[in-house]
Chains A and B, each alone.
Chain A
Amino acid sequence: MTTHPINLLSEEQLAEISSGKHWDFHGGIYPKENKRQSNQAVIKDAGIPPFLVIGIEHKGHTPELLVNVGDPVLKGQALTKVYGAMVAQHASSSGVVSAIEKRSDLHPSGLPVLSVVIATDGLDRSIDYQRCADYKKQAHALLIQKIQDSGIVGLGGGGFPSHLKLNHPDSIQLLIVNAVECEPYISADDRLMQEHGDEIIDGISVLEHILKPLLTVIAIEDNKPEAIAAIRRAVQKQQLSNIVIRTIPTRYPSGSEKQLIEIITGRQTPIGKHPSELGIVMHNVGSVFAIKEAILDGKPLTSRIVTLTGDAFSSKGNLSVRIGTPIQYLLDKYGFNNQPSQKLIIGGPMMGFSINHTDIPVTKTCNCIIAPSPQEMPDAPPEVPCIRCGECAEVCPALLLPQQLLWYAKSQDHNKLAEYNLSSCIECGACAYVCPSHIPLVKYYRVAKAQINSAEEQAKKAEIARIRFEQRAARLEQAKIDRQAKHKEAAEKRQQQLQATNGGEDLIAAALARAKAKKQALAQDGENAADDTKKETISAAVARVQVKAKKQALAQSSESAPKDAKKEAVAAAIARAKAKKQALAQDSESPADDAKKEAVAAAIARAKAKKQALAQDSESAADNTGLNNTEAVDAATQIADNRQPADDRKAKIAAAIAKAKAQKAAQKDQ
């Protein structure tokens, strides 16, 4: 990903940012935070489940596997190779690979993806972690490679591979560490900062070493005073001068990448541009912690912090969960009170999705599991028509017109949706939150976005198909031309050879002429003789066939070995296919069949009559011409009479032609 900086921040702007000024973004909402339920207790280890399910497929791509079924694995051992920009996946505890199969993924569809299933042994033995204290002496590319090999993705919920955000040396001026955590209920980053402030600052040092930004800003919402204090202590302890801690007012969705950039720098990211083009890189605080563990401690990403909250849990809090832990295991362990029509939400209440069953593993992007009681989150009231009050446009942080988008999403007008920048929608749900008609606007946008994506995909495929079709046609055309040229060349060569060997006389043509003459003579000789010869040939052929059949029978009886099963199957399939085709052909042809046959017979009769007439013309035997011609005419008329009405006209025309010819011949003779 090479990007050209378009809009780099000036020195004055950076000075303004570091002096403590912050800006504002449009819209936003103030939902109840609901964070106290989970942010009071320290992070606990969720324990080792009996089995782990680690999905390795990503967007339809399957990387090369490094383990087989039955292999023992250790914690931190890589299960896959790095594939393209994808990160590697690791075993998150020790055990044995019990299966490599499709299992449900943590995705709103719940569709299965290829996963490695590990039966854990409970010992949690790990590989030897290669600690590296002097990473500052290593090349940047090696560090970035190490981050990719350690499987680090954006842990805020996006899951964008972290190493891709580090490939911009030289052009980065501002590094923003996103510790805003603006979604209600979630407190994973809050607890992480309270307990691991020093490690986070170490991680920032690693990023600063790679990116060399002029300024680093840690953005934290003002509803996390303990976390702010912890980070402040850690910064003071390490005496880092270019790190600024920016406390921002609590408002949803200030943690969204583009909105946070606007708050920190006062700059909007242009549509379709990446923040790195503005000279800004943003990393989630959880990812920073994971980068520190990967570079300094040599530990790949095998666990993440998950907030377990909602009134259906008897014990709430934050857990360090091994990647691949089944959600059912967490529910069992933390007093999940299952009720009929119980909802389970992955992610925050604003942007998360619900799952229908619990046989799904925790993935790297799963930051929160909410199990609300029915009183806590009652079902949404039914949707009523839009009254175009404009509340949604007031709160939209992306400055879109949600009511217009809804209108066009419902009518599936993809062009208009593009015109109104549906692609800029961050799906934060603020519009749906304030809607007095209870319209789930984001639902409609997600559906429309998926439809637009698949339409684009199809258009792309159609274009490829068109190109392939045209190239194939061109290739076939070229092959035809080549073949014709080759034949022509060969014919010319043969001609030349003939002329060289036989002194210009064409032997074949001569032989053909002789044969023709002979045939003519034979034909005139008499037909009865020909009849006999024909009969003889037929009887000879029959005899030959009989002998062949006998031979075949003999061969079959002598063939004692059992027949190849595959051959038989193929033969049977061929027979089936033939029968099918025949049936099809009969179906389609039977009505047309008779008419066609008759037409063919008539055509043959016509052709014969014509030939006869011609032959007699050329013979020009004066006396019997008239007679013969009359015969021909008679034959033609007879045929015409016998013909079906459909062929009547043609036959009549043929008869007329024959008559005219006969007349002409007669005139000539006279």
Chain B
Amino acid sequence: MIISIAIAIFTLGILGAIFGSILGYSALRFKVKADPIVEELDAILPQTQCGQCGYPGCKPYAQAIANGEDINKCPPGGEAVMRQLAERMGVEPKNLDGPEKPKLVAFIREDLCIGCTKCIQACPVDAILGATRQMHTVISDECTGCELCVAPCPTDCIDMVPIALTTQNWQWDLNLIPTKNSTER
């Protein structure tokens, strides 16, 4: 009787030690260093770096979402980004916190620019080119439309203009395409 109890305790003890060491080893060996969800969320965000969410850039907002912040604070991303974030985080989609605007780019009116470089300092993606007392200009391909350069301008010479429609970004209109007019006699 005593012997069988002793054998049972001994066996279970040995098993516990083995599994414990395996678990301990794998905890060290397969340790996840950073939280990959932040990277994933950051990849969904539109990278305008506009700060409309209240965070200084898209990555900090991604970090905040990972820590439980609301998913509806990105107006540039619009409905689509909000839905993707909701799906990734496994939460219910919410209405956007602010109106959804069409994509814009900044445009500097040359005749009013005094070359103060304030907008250059404000641009989060270095999309404004210029030097002190020289006319500045926006590299429109790099502009994310964050509007951060509009407020610092002392002469109010930066406008946000809609992106011009070209044959490159034009979308097919379902009402304009004839496909089924191949009726033969």
Q: Which residues of A contact B (CB under 8 A)?
A: 31-32, 34, 59-60, 105, 107-109, 111, 113, 184, 343, 345, 349-350, 352-354, 356, 372, 376-380, 429, 432-433, 435, 438, 440-444, 446-447, 450-451, 454, 457-458, 461-466, 468-469, 471-473, 566, 569-570, 573-574, 576-578, 580-581
Contact = CB atoms under 8 A, between A and B. Distances in A.
A447 B171 contact: yes
A574 B154 contact: yes
A335 to B, nearest CB: 21
Nearest to B155: A573
A438 B180 contact: yes
B78 to A, nearest CB: 11
Contacts of A435: 180
A570 B144 CA distance: 27
Report whether over half of chain B's contact residues are helix, strand or loop; otherwise say mixed: loop
B184 interface: yes
Interface stretch (B13-21, B25-33, B63-71, B119-127): B119-127
Q: Of B59, B125, B142, which is in contact with the most chain A CB atoms at under 10 Å from its CB?
A: B125
A446 B171 CA distance: 9
Nearest to A447: B172
17 contacts: A34-B184, A59-B167, A108-B176, A343-B178, A350-B182, A352-B178, A440-B177, A450-B170, A454-B169, A464-B142, A465-B47, A466-B58, A573-B155, A574-B154, A576-B156, A577-B156, A581-B151
Interface in B147-185: 151, 153-157, 165-172, 174, 176-185
Contacts of B176: 108, 353-354, 356
Nearest to B114: A570
Interface in B14-50: 42, 45-49
Contacts of A457: 169
A443 B168 CA distance: 18
Nearest to B46: A462
Contact of A472 (B126, B155, B165, B179): B126
B47 A433 contact: no
Nearest to A454: B169
A433 B178 CA distance: 11
B111 interface: yes
Interface string B82-93: 000000000000
Given A376-B185, A380-B178, 8 more contacts: A34-B184, A34-B185, A440-B179, A444-B174, A465-B47, A466-B47, A466-B59, A468-B125
B35 to A, nearest CB: 18
B181 A573 contact: no
Contact of B181 (A380, A447, A463, A473): A380
A465 B177 contact: no
B179 A442 contact: yes
Given A111-B165, A376-B185, A345 B178 contact: yes
B166 A458 contact: no
B131 interface: no
B112 A570 contact: yes
A354 B47 CA distance: 38
B124 A432 contact: no
A376 B179 CA distance: 15
A429 B157 CA distance: 50
A446 B177 contact: yes
Given A345-B178, A472-B125, A451 B171 contact: yes
Nearest to B141: A461
A31 B182 contact: yes
Contact of A433 (B42, B155, B156, B180): B180
Given A353-B177, A463-B47, A574-B154, A566 B111 contact: yes
Contacts of A442: 177, 179
B156 A184 contact: no
Contact of B46 (A105, A108, A458, A581): A458
A576 B155 CA distance: 8
B150 to A, nearest CB: 10
Given A354-B176, A462-B47, A466-B42, A429 B170 contact: no
B156 to A, nearest CB: 4
Given A377-B183, A446-B177, A465-B49, A109 B142 contact: no
Contact of A577 (B124, B155, B183): B155
A109 B167 CA distance: 7
Contacts of B180: 380, 429, 432-433, 435, 438, 440
B135 to A, nearest CB: 12
A528 to B, nearest CB: 46
A109 B168 CA distance: 10
Contacts of A581: 151
A79 to B, nearest CB: 19
B179 A429 contact: yes
Contacts of A454: 169, 171
Contact of B125 (A443, A446, A451, A465): A465
Contacts of A465: 47-49, 125, 142, 144
Q: Of B42, B45, B178, which is in contact with the most chain A CB atoms at under 10 Å from its CB?
A: B178
A343 B176 CA distance: 11
Given A472-B124, A569-B111, A372 B172 contact: no
A396 B162 CA distance: 40
A38 B151 CA distance: 64
B182 A468 contact: no
Contacts of B172: 108, 443, 446-447, 450
B145 to A, nearest CB: 10
A60 B169 CA distance: 10
Contacts of B157: 573
Given A378-B183, A429-B182, A570 B155 contact: yes
Nearest to A380: B180
Nearest to A440: B179
Contacts of A450: 170-172
Nearest to A468: B125
B169 A349 contact: no
A461 B176 CA distance: 29
Instruction: List the 8 closest A-B pairs by CB distance, nearest first.
Output: A32-B184, A577-B156, A462-B47, A380-B180, A573-B155, A465-B47, A468-B125, A109-B170
